[in-house]
Structure 1
């Protein structure tokens, strides 16, 4: 193995490959990590050797006219977003950072998207290509830098949400979009049931809906809706929605504070649990699902498809069962401080899906080198 003191940054993937091959030979597990801003999602924090991607940084290529950017895995996410903003471009899926150390590789591996997810798609919808070190230490290339570049399996998109279980993402190419010409945020005075009904109606209309969030702000509940698109379309839609519900246009400064707080979960709803005996659940449901937990503190995103619910320890299985009955699934996002018995973050997938996941993992990592704590929670 090369002497780390003599390795230049350009040699990082080669050095990582050597570490992976050594770990495979020694039966060692490696934990891939970037800025650790999403480490709170782990349930298993047992000691593994870590492979830190933050030494492999830089924007490799950016073609503003082609709406494509390629960056190394350790590149700070804030740095990438700032570079795009200089050209009037952005990542439409609004990935959460959850801290100043968020990296591009961590963004893809976590696969998390922000408020606009239901309207524009998720991380995997914008991944054009990627480079990956697998469990054999092979540096593989998938996809490319154009949308129509699919030959065989679209592995690059499968890496979105893989959480480090398939290998080390070293580089990723992403589709980006121009910043919208028009934008407005409306605050509408509606309770949860009424908000879901209005969203269901508006989703079927030709409206430039981009994001929504409902929660009780102390007034009995309000729905915030963000419109994005052509300036004329946004103005017309604002008039239309305000005719359907009592509300007003939010000042620009207030809107610029609201949506990052939703994305980064810094709203009081997220930061102040009802009691130390309450878990925070993330429920992915069909958008048409009516209000399930009106007696529990709830925040609704993604035009109705994402529900955040605070539930007591005793209500955990009820929340999970109701999500399944509605055709969705529940994720234990943040366990209560007073929870003493471990609880699986996810329900077990169907046997066929579990078998497929295991085959995919074995194909990428036959020696079990990579930590699967994220994958299995």
Structure 2
């Protein structure tokens, strides 16, 4: 694995941008730019800032530079029988850990406690004053008070240049099994309730309606797929009661947004509180997170946003026309932005699109 510390180069480039009052578009591997996430002009690339700084398998902790490809880290962890404590999407082989932190997306295992935000223990970054700052630590007990490291998850690079991050790890499960069930959209509420009894063995669930994409084997159409992991004896007992058919569902393709379902010209993600119902044809969607996340291809984003808001949820358009910024967060995004980046240099376009609330970043 290549080891390259580009901290001084990144800091020098940022100081030059500050001197000229030039906006900075922070970029990583670029694997997410086609999902309405192109940061803008005047790029500052952190992709070459890569490598493992500290890996302690016995402590289940990894500290790594932001430009390190996730695929390389997965290979490193697998050799020690370990994995990330989060289900981290990687839309391409060159997707970086810094880009994953910035986007803040979670894979289908989030309901099982595998949240990216909860995995981040600490980070180092360059703020909008050109200062090198550190937050959090490298073990859970060091994380106290305002956890500003986790604030970087989903910030889209609008708060600073992420240099390195410390992450919590987990052992690989002893056994993993996949099952599928023929289920109609009308039966889904009962199934989401039923799945609660499968915890903590349940790792992911996914339903694709009868109008959704179908893979080469015809395995997805009108089926609910489940992924269970844990001790072999516990899985055997659970599967005897659960039934279903063995499934060859491609969970990696779902996690990485690389299944053909995600190739739709327009794609929106609706996130809802558990057991909330959305008045749209579920037969045309892909649903995971035990019903809390609904992927809608080629839908009306404004109508989806309105419907989701009534139920306490939100919508994020990954591909297609962007939505007006929801202002339910008040002025908090602006106040946080001003604290980290008082001159508004970082990823201005992304901030105005996703957090601006009608108040454009200068």
Number of aligned pairs?
343
Report deviation, 1:204.
4.8
Shift of 1:270: 2.0
Does the residue aligned with 1:374 lie in a helix, a strand or coil?
helix
- How far has the Cα of 1:45 moved from its partner? 5.9
1:299 counterpart (286, 297, 304)? 286
**Aligned residue for 1:339?**
none
If the length of structure 1 is used for normalisation, what is the TM-score? 0.85
Aligned partner of 2:277 in structure 1 is 290
What is the TM-score with the length of structure 2 in the denominator? 0.89
In structure 1, the partner of 2:346 is: 370
Q: Distance in 2 between matches of 1:43 and 1:62?
A: 31
Q: Does the Cα contact within 8 Å between 2:125 and 2:133 map onto a contact in 1?
A: yes
Post-superposition Cα deviations, 1:38-85, rounded to whole Å, max 9, x if no partner, equal 112336664x21111122111111111110011011111111111001
Please give the root-mean-square deviation of Cα atoms over the aligned residues, in Å.
2.1
* More displaced stretch, 191-200 vs 226-235: 191-200
Separation (CA, whole Å) in 2 of partners of 1:334 and 1:65: 41
Q: Does residue 101 of structure 2 align to residue 108 of structure 1?
A: yes
- Superposed counterparts of 1:120-159, under 5 Å: 120-159=113-152
Which secondary structure does the structure 1 equivalent of 2:286 belong to?
strand
Give me the whole-angstrom Cα distance separating, in 2, the residues matched to 1:215 and 1:9: 42
Aligned match of 2:313: 328
| 8 Å CA contact 1:42, 1:373 repeated in 2 | no
Structure 1 residues 179, 307: CA separation in 2 closer, same or farther (over 3 Å shift)? Answer: same
Query: Residues 311 and 325 of structure 1: is their aligned pair in 2 closer, same or farther, counting only changes over 3 Å?
Result: farther
User: Is the alpha carbon distance of 1:23 and 1:297 closer, same or farther for their aligned partners in structure 2, counting shifts above 3 Å?
Assistant: same
Distance 1:80 1:207, change over 3 A: closer
| Counterpart residue number, 1:349 | 327
Structure 2: unaligned runs, 5 residues or longer: 355-362
Distance in 2, Cα, partners of 1:9 & 1:239 = 51
Q: How does 1:89-238 map to 2 (within 5 A)?
A: 89-204=82-197, 206-216=199-209, 217=214, 221-238=222-239
CA distance in 1, matches of 2:233, 2:283: 39
Q: Is the 8 A contact 1:207 1:237 kept in 2?
A: no
Distance change in 2, residues 1:284/1:265 (3 Å):
same
SS at the partner of 1:200? helix
C-alpha distance in 2, partners of 1:82/1:192? Answer: 38
Cross-structure match for 1:5: none
> In the alignment, is the contact (CA less than 8 A) between 1:200 and 1:287 conserved in 2?
no
1:279-313 superposed Cα distances (whole Å, 9 cap, x missing partner): 3210001220235322661000111110011244x
2:238 match: secondary structure: helix
Q: Which stretch shows the higher mean deviation, 164-173 or 152-161?
A: 152-161
